Amino acid sequence: MKTDTSAVNIDRDKGDFHYKVDYGYDAGVGLDERVVNYISDVKQDPDWVREFRLKALQTFESKPLPTHWASKDLEAIDFNKIRYYLAQGQRATRSWDEVPEDVKRTFERLGIPEQERKFLAGVEAQFDSEAVYSNIKKAVGEQGVIFVGSTEGLKEYPEIFRRWFGKVIPTGDNKFSALNSAVFSGGSFIYVPPGVKVKHPLQAYFRINAENFGQFERTLIICDEGSELTYMEGCTAPKFNTATLHSAVVELIALKGAKLQYITVQNWSPNVFNLVTKRGLAHEESEIKWIDCNIGSRLTMKYPGVVLKGRKSRGEVLSIALANNGQHQDTGAKMIHAADETTSNIISKSISIGTGRATYRGLVHVPKHLKNCRNNTECDALLINATSRTDTYPAITVRGTGNSVQHEASVSQVSAEQIFYMQQRGLSEAQAMSLSVNGFVNDLVRQFPMEYSVELKRLIELEMEGSVG
Amino acid sequence: MQQLEIKNLRVAIGENEIIRDLSLSVGLGEMHAVMGPNGSGKSTLAKVIAGHPDYKVTGGEVLMDGENLFELDPDERARKGLFLAFQYPSEVPGVTIANFLRAAMQARLPEGEELEATDYYAKLYEKMDLLEIDRSFTSRAVNEGFSGGEKKRCEILQMAMLDPRYAVLDETDSGLDIDALKVVASGVNSLRGPNLGVLLITHYQRLLNYIVPDFVHVMVHGRIVRSGGKELALELEEKGYDWIREHAGEPVAA
């Protein structure tokens, strides 16, 4: 059965193109105070933001690369060769007609305006450093939902923005959150008022167009008491020979009783370093769920987390990572229990193909004074070839009585016998592989929204076609 | 030309020759049984016909309706109408029988053509009714946690859905109790007809009480040593494989 409701359209082959664009704003190459000040000038930052950036630059410079535990491949990033800010203009338009022609055709080719009409409550489209388009359906806006770019958010809604910005992920959390804090631009700012349940998803699409470029979007989402929201993001970039850096910071806040679901399907080209910090803060009886699918990139380091701050709050990370030849998916989850009766669930599935490597890092923390906390962690790895690699580093500290954790891990391999069996039924080797991989992730994908699971299955098929035979 | 024709086949694993100059033809509409003791090369024969990558063909050919199978990949052979019911079917974790069969049938359509879901399910249910298989069966993952009997029924269901011209059934009776054996045999019998040629590989005569062959071949040490009608199976049952070995001038196993 064919479906044309692809959720995010991040087919990498379709994304591998770029048009020449004239940038009106260019911070040049390399990173220093001058560059940070240039960004602040161009964006007309309030003083507190400029100070925040400059301080963050110092933090970034003072922190070493985390190569004592992470991949040495990080050393291949030359921070002096990257361009930190490129934009045509400063304002995202509310209408596709006003988006400059050369940028608009990129998003049209990616099918974004079409999807917006079909099933989304709102869309933000970011091109290199700035959002070029941002709009929500009228009915959603009338409920008081705010969905704008981060620059607009901090200017127009400072009382909400400033209260939460940098509170879930402090600048010094890690070297890359510090980098983002110094040069951030773009990303979404969303506020959902109390009791408002946004029926259809809001979507952001992040597109890197330029070579040697770093994209540093900053997303802040606040779901007020009893509200509900699903947010989806998709990302692509053309394939360049040089390294491209994507280093986002995403902070989520779910106030009492709110439900927030954040879905990512990334499909970066194999030259992209994808180093992202994502964390949510869950208040009493609220629920934060990360659905995180990582395909592509050269190296991804991403461990979505939830700080379970309020009693009976609930955190969940469902993740799928697919590491193809030459790629390293270093992903996982963090669950910080900080109140009684909190529950967390982590299900991680990884697939390694060819020389691909998938690493799972998990952190589950339940301190001694808490009661009736529960965590369930399952991580399963599938190896396609003898050269494929997987590692698991679970760190679970659970103290106190009446708290329970459960951890299961498995490693399996698609056997030659299984492939032969499937081929004997008429499937090509690539089809057999892709069906096996879909079978492996199937029980997890079933929990995803329908449009998303369809898109993901298609992406896995494309990935397997390119890697077999 | 409408036959599966094995001509002077030689097969080795490494230095070890397993099939030694074997010839056999299965015409469309015919049921051939190949019987033989353990280690005679029966299962190797089945896998080589289907194109298993572990075996090296050192001589001869296998023609399906005149086309040389050794020039085709295993999946191409399958799409052209060859089916192998495995002795030990693989598990395909997480993939339901319904989805697996659907993918297999989709793979047989020309590019750009989509399998009609309603037609597919209509056919699936018809075949399941024919084989007396419960509807819930096809929502289970292929062979995952199946009993021996369930695995063999799953093989026969796939055969029924894929409409092969030639089917090789490799030890379809192994691991089955008598009730399961009867069910599987009646499934095979219901698929018999003028448009299907079957090569039935078995160690024991008892399967042939339920699936009556047109021809019986006895295989010892990599070659067919004797061929005849269905009565040959009975004779073999009575006298044992040693009798055949003596007649064939093969060394008797210690």
In a domain, B13, yes or no: yes
In a domain, B240, yes or no: yes
pLDDT, position A130 = 83
Q: What is the mean pLDDT of chain B?
A: 92
CB contact under 8 Å between B94 and A2, yes or no, is no
In a domain, B189, yes or no: yes
Reference A181, options A50, A311, A83; nearest CA is: A50
B58: domain CATH number is 3.40.50.300
pLDDT, mean of residues B103-127: 94
pLDDT, position B237 = 84
pLDDT band for A5, please (50, 70, 90 cuts).
very low
Answer whether B202 touches A (CB < 8 Å): no
DSSP A201: P
CA–CA gap between residue A393 and residue A233 (Å, rounded): 27
pLDDT band for A91, please (50, 70, 90 cuts).
confident
pLDDT, position A2 = 35
pLDDT, position A294 = 93
Range of the domain at B224: 3-88+165-248
pLDDT tens digits along A188-241: 999 999 999 998 889 888 888 888 889 999 999 999 999 999 999 887 777 777
Which stretch of A237-251, A273-287, B92-106 has the lowest confidence by average pLDDT?
A237-251
CB contact under 8 Å between B75 and A439, yes or no, is no
Least CB-CB distance to A426: which of B78, B92, B95? B78
pLDDT, position B249 = 59
Which stretch of A7-16, A331-340, B190-199 has the lowest confidence by average pLDDT?
A7-16
Q: Does ipTM surpass 0.90 in this model?
A: yes
In a domain, B104, yes or no: no
In a domain, B67, yes or no: yes
Answer whether B89 touches A (CB < 8 Å): yes
Domain count, chain B: 1
In a domain, B15, yes or no: yes
pLDDT, position A307 = 98
Answer whether A143 touches B (CB < 8 Å): no
Closest Cα of chain B to A345: distance in Å? 21
pLDDT tens digits along A135-183: 888 888 899 999 999 999 999 999 999 999 999 999 999 999 999 999 9
